[in-house]
């Protein structure tokens, strides 16, 4: 979670580059011998991004000169986004939570189509491979307390309310590469263009320090969850975006 979530903890082992007999620029369809995890490609061609269900390791992605692009997410990206979210939570956040908190975290952070349908959710791609995602919302909800998304939440007033930063995730293989920050900057710029003067988010314990270092103010510590399951610690944070 870390804007429920975004965490830049250092990933475990860095995948090895493909062997010397691999063709230049070739994209392996399976994990290499090191057991590195793979990145899903978008489900369809959007803005020049490659399509298909192949996968790719981080080291293979940067054998070519990296082409980094930011685009709006689409519902066709859902399988890749859900897989990346689970990998991000499992690798970067689960070690910091109890079993009960892990279960509740997944309950309150479902795939939320409202963010995509509102046109406020973005993905960062590296040579066409989705490496990070996140966005902002003009709806009055920082997470999904009922586990069913936020499509029914009322709209915010840019004159008086703060835009919400939502669902920030980074593929662990791309952690600490600046891609999460790039997505966050895009979301803040879009909210600013929509007339909002302030932004707020709900950060995890791991993310609070990172956001504070980036200029966010920690307003209060809270426990969040669905119903009586408010067991996940978080921080309400805000900042001026004028």
The conformational region for residue 13 under phi > 0 = left, psi -120 to 50 = alpha, else beta, is: beta
**Residue 13 confidence (pLDDT):** 37
Integer Cα distance of 119 and 102 in angstroms: 29
Give the CATH superfamily of 39-240. Answer: Gcn5-related N-acetyltransferase (GNAT) (3.40.630.30)
Q: State CA 17 to chain mean position distance.
A: 25
Cα–Cα nearest to 68, from 84, 55, 49: 49
Q: Burial level of 218, CB count in 10 A (0-12/13-18/19+)?
A: middle
Q: What is the pTM of this model?
A: 0.74
Whole-number pLDDT of residue 201: 97
Reference 51, options 84, 27, 17; nearest CA is: 27
198-203 and 163-170 strand pairing: parallel
What are the angstrom distances between the C-alpha of 133 and each of 47, 173, 229?
16, 14, 27
The two structure tokens encoding residue 114: 């409202």
Q: What count of other Cβ atoms lies within 10 Å of the Cβ of residue 242?
A: 6
Residues 6 or more apart from 222 whose CB is under 8 A from it?
Answer: 202, 233, 234, 235, 236
pLDDT of 144 reads: 72
pLDDT < 50 regions, the chain: 1, 6-53
pLDDT score recorded for residue 142: 83
Contact (Cβ atoms closer than 8 angstroms) between residue 88 and residue 171: yes
Q: What's the Cα-to-Cα distance from 76 to each of 67, 168, 238, rounded to whole Å?
A: 21, 18, 31
Cβ distance 64 to 25 under 8 Å? yes
Furthest-apart CA atoms within the chain: distance in Å: 60
Identify the pLDDT of residue 225. Answer: 83
pLDDT of residue 61: 62
pLDDT at 223: 92
Q: Is 148 exposed, middle or buried (0-12, 13-18, 19+ CB in 10 A)?
A: exposed
pLDDT of the residue at 33 = 33
């Amino acid at each position: 979670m870390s804007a429920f979530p975004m965490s830049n903890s250092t990933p475990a082992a860095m995948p090895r580059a493909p062997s010397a007999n691999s063709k230049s620029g070739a994209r392996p369809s399976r994990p290499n011998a090191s057991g590195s995890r793979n990145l899903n490609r978008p489900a369809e061609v959007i803005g020049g991004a490659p399509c298909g269900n192949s996968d790719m390791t981080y080291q293979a992605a940067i054998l070519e000169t990296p082409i980094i692009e930011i685009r709006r997410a689409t519902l066709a990206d859902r399988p890749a986004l859900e897989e990346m979210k689970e990998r991000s939570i499992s690798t970067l956040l689960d070690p910091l939570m109890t079993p009960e908190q892990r279960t509740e975290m997944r309950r309150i952070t479902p795939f939320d189509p409202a963010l995509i349908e509102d046109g406020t959710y973005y993905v960062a791609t590296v040579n066409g491979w989705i490496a990070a995602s996140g966005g902002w919302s003009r709806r009055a909800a920082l997470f999904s307390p009922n586990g069913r998304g936020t499509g029914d939440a009322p709209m915010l007033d840019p004159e008086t309310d703060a835009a919400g930063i939502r669902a920030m995730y980074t593929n662990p293989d791309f952690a600490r590469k600046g891609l999460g920050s790039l997505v966050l900057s895009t979301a803040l710029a879009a909210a600013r263009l929509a007339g909002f003067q302030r932004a707020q988010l709900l950060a995890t314990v791991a993310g609070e320090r990172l956001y504070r270092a980036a200029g966010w103010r920690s307003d209060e510590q809270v426990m969040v969850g669905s119903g009586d399951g408010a067991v996940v610690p978080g921080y309400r944070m805000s900042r001026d975006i004028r």
